[in-house]
C-alpha cells in the first residue's frame, strides 16, 4: 500500500458524482465517465491484498444490486483509464448506451 499520489484522480477522491458507500478501505460512487457504480481502493496501487479486493467487490455488489438490479450486472475489473490505482465497475447491459446519451 502506498500513500496518495499527486495528480491521481482516484487518490484525490473528489466528490464529483453521487457517492453510495465509504469505509476505511474503499469508496463506491457513480463513475464520472460511464455512470455505473465503481469501487475505488483508498490506497494508491494496482494490486491490493486479496482480502481488500473481496471486501471491495462485496461493497460494490451491494450498491450494484440496489442501483442496477439483482442479477443484471457484472464486475469489470479492467482498469482502462487509470491503470495504476485499483478500481472496478459494475456494468449492466445498458451502460454503454447510457454513456452515449450523456
pLDDT (average), residues 3-21: 94
| pLDDT band, very low/low/confident/very high, at 24 (cuts 50, 70, 90) | very high
CATH of the domain at 20: 3.30.428.10
Range of the domain at 57: 9-101
In a domain, 37, yes or no: yes
pLDDT higher than threshold 60 for residue 1: no
Summarize pLDDT for 40-99 with one digit per residue, the tens.
999 999 999 999 999 999 999 999 999 999 999 999 999 999 999 999 999 998 776 666
The answer for residues whose C-beta is within 8 angstroms of residue 50's C-beta and 6 or more apart is: none
| pLDDT band, very low/low/confident/very high, at 34 (cuts 50, 70, 90) | confident
- Count up the domains in the chain and report the number: 1
In a domain, 72, yes or no: yes
In a domain, 1, yes or no: no
In a domain, 51, yes or no: yes
In a domain, 18, yes or no: yes
Tell me how far apart the alpha carbons of residues 28 and 57 are, in angstroms, rounded to a whole number: 10
Overall pTM > 0.75: yes
Q: Given the C-alpha cell 443484471, which residue does it identify?
A: 72
Amino acid at each position: 500500500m502506498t500513500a496518495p499520489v499527486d495528480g491521481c484522480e482516484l487518490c484525490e477522491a473528489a466528490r464529483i458524482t453521487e457517492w453510495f458507500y465509504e469505509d476505511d478501505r474503499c469508496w463506491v460512487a457513480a463513475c464520472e465517465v460511464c455512470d455505473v457504480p465503481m469501487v475505488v481502493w483508498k490506497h494508491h496501487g494496482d494490486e491490493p491484498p486479496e482480502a481488500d479486493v473481496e471486501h471491495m467487490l462485496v461493497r460494490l455488489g451491494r450498491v450494484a444490486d440496489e442501483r442496477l438490479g439483482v442479477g443484471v450486472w457484472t464486475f469489470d475489473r479492467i482498469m482502462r483509464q487509470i491503470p495504476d490505482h485499483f478500481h472496478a465497475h459494475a456494468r449492466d447491459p445498458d451502460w454503454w448506451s447510457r454513456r452515449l446519451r450523456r
